[in-house]
Structure 1
């Protein structure tokens, strides 16, 4: 039986850099001539990507697929949880909507999701020379151990050797790694073959004694210390906690984005934030939208009705109305587009309690929520400029009304979006619009901003820089050797 080498990167906590580390390893290994497949058994994120066959996966896995020079596949992230409330989430299994589960229900049912997870892993492994797998959260969350499919539960089931990453930037990395070792079960500890220190700032030699202390207390060997890499911030982020990353601040043209409670697909705005001529501001809750904003963008949302209520509770509806009265431009993306209309009808309770809710009334459209979810890649044309548009749809609901007679884009013969009579308020269901350099240049030119960014080129440069960084500071040969140890482990288990 042929067993594909595989390595799983787990971490001492969330936001420790697992996604970026896996992307860097994927690009480093593919440059060595290996066919690499990224994989994450279970992800929780409202930043999703759409695959060619219309499935959904986490945005991080789409970036990792790009790093591995592969098209994104639903099997790279077989279970995706998309939080809708504090205690409930939409569950996506192998790319398709599985249902909605509360936190307690999911804990009871997650073990039943292990078979599709293992099926997806096996499908990818058949065509790969090596698999690089990302864990979720931390294996030290022992309250979630029963039925685990995200970390050690998957590693044990698939016989995958593990390397633990610790985030030194947040502090307490020695205690985090040693503490993780202490709370793991003996069979889980046996799966761990080493550790990596991530996000180090300063002279790495100052941490030599720390590496020794960790190894002495855990028996794990160090596989390197990865210094902080500024270029990593150019890659699309997975979690909303990354929205405070530094943006261009010298520019005079301001684009303001309210940080909705259930903000989704916020990487739509990344290309704008990288433009030298744009100052992109994510406005936190409790803070007014600045009156100096030239453009306000209402981003996508996992719960349109929930975030519409959140927006109103914070007074942002008043700020947005004032912005429009001053002659400012306003753009709604997907859920943000739905909020701009006169009414949102939800007769079946798809997005919350059944009923109708008044929208912001800035576009003459009505949205009706429907259970049929649209997930598709899109190639179209920007109506105002003729610029090509590339993006994707991922939404529930359909919108219609007088302002839809002025669409934002056309997709074949199908119009999408709506524009107010004065042209200053616009909305579209399409995500990912601004990654297209030609479209972004045309859109910004309409605001008097000269585009200076080659976005796709910048992403490729960032992935190559990340791979160079991994090669320079980690024991990549050691990591490959650990991945190959899966063969003997799996064969002995068989």
Structure 2
């Protein structure tokens, strides 16, 4: 069979489900999207329901989980809401904003969301999204959520086994050996499935292995004998491959203090921080030392202070004023530091943030940091769109996306001073001077023209050349694919996908 004949053959979908949360399903899904692309297929990712504050705007101006946008990038295709038809964005520990097919449908309490009533309507929405996607791509690389065996939620589950059964997907169970208890987690997860569900589990992948893999050869046999399911691979833990993370759980552990010899960039660690991937390019830029902090001393040591987006701007602004971080940002700026706000951070930099209609909270209004002569009024309709723009007076076309609620305008006695001119004729942001500006555009820092401008006042610290983030990301996807391919039996994976489920 020729390569063309091989790749034109329809493969059954592959789902990576987990023994629990944070076992590496998203990264493994990204790896297989790139592997299938390298092998000549036309893959696409799919996750029926995702819970994350880190979202992304599709080319159609709709909203999906950032993880599926990353997976689509690994697959070499534009992202689409059919890849993540249901997105839950936590606003509190018990309440989420529900985004269906890219559009917010309102906030819902977790207890209400997981009730049986209305569940079938959501189920049909995610099934329809998958069906549309499967007509356009081959194969579909699916991702489950949390544990495959949340038996208390079996009747209302939309994303794990019911989704796999609708898709007739071959399920690979992913287990994290680094956290311990891998035998119990794998065996328990399989045994808690119904007899019908177990038919769909065709392989087990052991992830995040540390040490000499040969020492686990007996472990592989034990798992296969216990479960009657083949282990398709044991993937080692890695430290030298950089793929965007799905959530911000570990941000506070990253580079917690300023250092000498580079431009020190502090990202203010907000309680409801969203779209932290805005800063990935700076994390990788060799000219920069970036750290996340809400420590007032560390903020005041920074050359550049970045105020990120927030899912709850007024709540985070209140906290910044309460814990002294607001004063430390203002002090850092007075002492010569650059301060830049993105989305909610842009709103926070102004004179005032108002929420008279209680769109976001019960707080009517709060004074901002007073660094920019702007005022913001929260509004009920969410703006989601991809944008092309020119930054200040540069000629190069930059790209980014907007996801925000609220309208920001100059205060009465301030003149307009936009930071960006959008391709459609609109303007964005506010430019006070080279060391104080804000924008609604996420991904603005992915553009080299913006990064070079941001770092220019600190040229005496710079020795490295401009960083090509797009080329860097492509290199990382390829390294990830090579790493996983090396430790997975891809011939077995293809046989599983060609045979399909029983």
What TM-score does the superposition give when structure 2 sets the normalisation length? Answer: 0.91
Who is 1:146 aligned against?
Answer: 155
Indicate conservation of the 8 Å contact 1:286/1:314, yes or no: no
Q: Deviations over 1:57-98 (max 9, x none)?
A: 111111111111111111011101111111111111111112
Who is 1:236 aligned against?
Answer: 244
Superposed, 1:419-438 pairs within 5 Å as 419-420=431-432, 423-438=434-449
Which of 22, 33, 38 is equivalent to 2:40?
A: 33
The verdict on how the C-alpha distance between 1:205 and 1:404 changes in structure 2, with shifts beyond 3 A counting, is farther
In structure 1, C-alpha distance between the alignment counterparts of 2:65 and 2:205, rounded to whole Å: 24
Which of 92, 99, 103 is equivalent to 2:106?
A: 99
Which of 386, 395, 399 is equivalent to 1:390?
A: 399
Which of 282, 291, 306 is equivalent to 1:281?
A: 291
Unaligned runs of 5+ in 1: 490-494
Task: State yes or no: 1:472 paired with 2:472.
Answer: no
Which of 66, 79, 91 is equivalent to 2:73?
A: 66
Q: Offset of 1:212 from its aligned partner?
A: 2.0
In structure 2, C-alpha distance between the alignment counterparts of 1:170 and 1:147, rounded to whole Å: 28
Q: Offset of 1:246 from its aligned partner?
A: 5.3
Who is 2:267 aligned against?
Answer: 257
Who is 1:492 aligned against?
Answer: none
Superposed, 1:168-187 pairs within 5 Å as 168-187=177-196
Q: Offset of 1:335 from its aligned partner?
A: 0.5
Superposed, 1:208-247 pairs within 5 Å as 208-232=217-241, 234-243=242-251
Q: Deviations over 1:191-228 (max 9, x none)?
A: 21121011112211111122222222222211001112
Task: State yes or no: 1:306 paired with 2:320.
Answer: no
Superposed, 1:116-155 pairs within 5 Å as 116-155=125-164
Unaligned runs of 5+ in 2: 1-8
Q: 352-361 vs 7-16, which deviates more? A: 352-361
Who is 1:457 aligned against?
Answer: 471
The verdict on how the C-alpha distance between 1:99 and 1:58 changes in structure 2, with shifts beyond 3 A counting, is same
Q: Helix, strand or coil for the counterpart of 2:136?
A: coil
The verdict on how the C-alpha distance between 1:162 and 1:357 changes in structure 2, with shifts beyond 3 A counting, is same
Superposed, 1:2-81 pairs within 5 Å as 5-81=12-88
Q: Helix, strand or coil for the counterpart of 1:317?
A: helix
Indicate conservation of the 8 Å contact 2:342/2:440, yes or no: yes
Superposed, 1:81-96 pairs within 5 Å as 81-96=88-103
In structure 1, C-alpha distance between the alignment counterparts of 2:292 and 2:114, rounded to whole Å: 33
Indicate conservation of the 8 Å contact 1:328/1:424, yes or no: yes
In structure 2, C-alpha distance between the alignment counterparts of 1:352 and 1:246, rounded to whole Å: 30
Indicate conservation of the 8 Å contact 2:47/2:84, yes or no: yes
Indicate conservation of the 8 Å contact 1:417/1:426, yes or no: yes
In structure 1, C-alpha distance between the alignment counterparts of 2:389 and 2:372, rounded to whole Å: 22
Q: 203-212 vs 399-408, which deviates more? A: 399-408
TM-align CA RMSD: 2.1
Task: State yes or no: 1:267 paired with 2:277.
Answer: yes
The verdict on how the C-alpha distance between 1:86 and 1:310 changes in structure 2, with shifts beyond 3 A counting, is farther
Q: Offset of 1:302 from its aligned partner?
A: 1.1
In structure 1, C-alpha distance between the alignment counterparts of 2:143 and 2:237, rounded to whole Å: 20
In structure 2, C-alpha distance between the alignment counterparts of 1:86 and 1:286, rounded to whole Å: 24
In structure 1, C-alpha distance between the alignment counterparts of 2:251 and 2:50, rounded to whole Å: 19
Q: Offset of 1:161 from its aligned partner?
A: 2.0
Q: Offset of 1:5 from its aligned partner?
A: 1.1
Q: Offset of 1:249 from its aligned partner?
A: 6.2
